[in-house]
Structure 1
Amino acid sequence: MRFPRTRRDPVEVNLTPLIDVVFLLLIFFMVSTTFETRQALELELPESVSGVAAEVSPVTLVVTAAGDYRLGDRELSAAGLGEALAGEAEQARRHGLVLEADGRASHASVVRALDQAGGLGIRQVRIATTEVSSTQAETP
């Protein structure tokens, strides 16, 4: 007696749902991840009541409380400030220079930075401040 063989379809794994899930996970992690490009620096920026939010500038000069300077990722002394700023001068002339001076920095350090920027033809300089909280604004 011959039994008829049942014909089986070949088994195929459908990868489309798996690929969809992988792409969804990839998009989720890309959206939820934050990228920090700047190193943390503890600055106490001066406060301003009348300040407005400014657009981000690609050239930011930081004056620390000790009177040192930082341009991008480079630590600078007062002597090296001029030539380092000269390297970024063209971009600073186009987009402006943001000066983040610590509230404890000496006035001379800030004026030195402004003088170097003015000597290189950088006319658009913004000084970064922090917003005054409502409780501090009300006290005399």
Structure 2
Amino acid sequence: MIEFDEPPQRRPYESVVPLINVVFLLLIFFLLAGTLQPTDDVEVDLPVGQVDDKRASEDLVLYVEADGFVYLGDRVMGADLAAYALRDFLDEQGIYDVSIKADADAPAHELIKLMEGLRNVGVREVNLVTEQSE
């Protein structure tokens, strides 16, 4: 009698739909996680800098527009009085580090007044935020 070989066993069909679902969920997660970042309260055109230093304080951010006015949230003040107007706020919040996001066209003398005033009210460190040059 003739013996025939058994036909090869076929592997069961495995659906790739769960894998595709997982890939799409990961894609959605990374798209959302990558784009959710806080926006600035005031639109300023930051100057370009050479240093890539990531020490900008997240405690308090002051914005200086091209007209020289200083913004903290919805509060607007002149650069010469800003530090003194913020003295109580800084003391009660316990903030000793401040970042300044100044417009590239902001007058330098206004920035100097602001930095000197912040130093006089007890701020330990002032960081001037810039965009990194290419």
Question: In 2, Cα distance between the equivalents of 1:52 and 1:88?
Answer: 27
Distance 1:101 1:38, change over 3 A: closer
Report the TM-score, using the length of structure 2 for normalisation.
0.63
Distance in 2 (alpha carbons) for counterparts of 1:124 and 1:82: 13
Alpha-carbon deviation of 1:64? 0.6
Instruction: Work out whether residues 56 and 99 of structure 2, in 8 Å CA contact, stay in contact via their aligned partners in 1.
Output: no
Q: State the distance in 1 between where 2:72 and 2:102 align.
A: 12
- Asked if the contact 1:44/1:102 (under 8 Å) is kept, the reply is yes
Q: Which runs of 5+ in 2 are unaligned?
A: 1-27
Report the secondary structure of 1:66's partner residue: coil
* Structure 1 residues 119 and 56: CA distance shift in structure 2, 3 A: closer
- Identical-residue share of aligned pairs (%): 23
Matched, 1:66 2:104: no
Runs of 4+ in 1 over 3 A off after TM superposition: 31-38
Partner SS for 1:92: coil
1:72-83 pair list within 5 angstroms: 72-78=73-79, 80-83=81-84
Query: What is the aligned partner in structure 2 of residue 111 from structure 1?
Result: 112
SS at match of 1:45: coil
Q: CA deviation at 1:115?
A: 1.2
**Corresponding residue SS for 1:126:** strand
Q: Which runs of 5+ in 1 are unaligned?
A: 1-27, 134-140
| Matched residue, 1:43 | 44
Residue 81 (structure 1) shift: 1.3
Q: Following TM superposition, by how much is the alpha carbon of 1:62 offset from its aligned partner in structure 2, in angstroms?
A: 1.0
Q: CA RMSD in A?
A: 2.6
Residue aligning to 1:54: 55
Cα distance in structure 2, aligned partners of 1:50 and 1:83: 30
Q: What displacement does 1:79 show?
A: 5.9
Tell me if structure 1 keeps the 8 A contact 2:80–2:113. no
TM (norm. structure 1) is: 0.60
Does the residue aligned with 2:83 lie in a helix, a strand or coil?
Answer: helix
Instruction: Provide the aligned length of Structure 1 versus Structure 2.
Output: 102
Closer, same or farther in 2 for the Cα pair 1:103/1:55, shift >3 Å?
closer
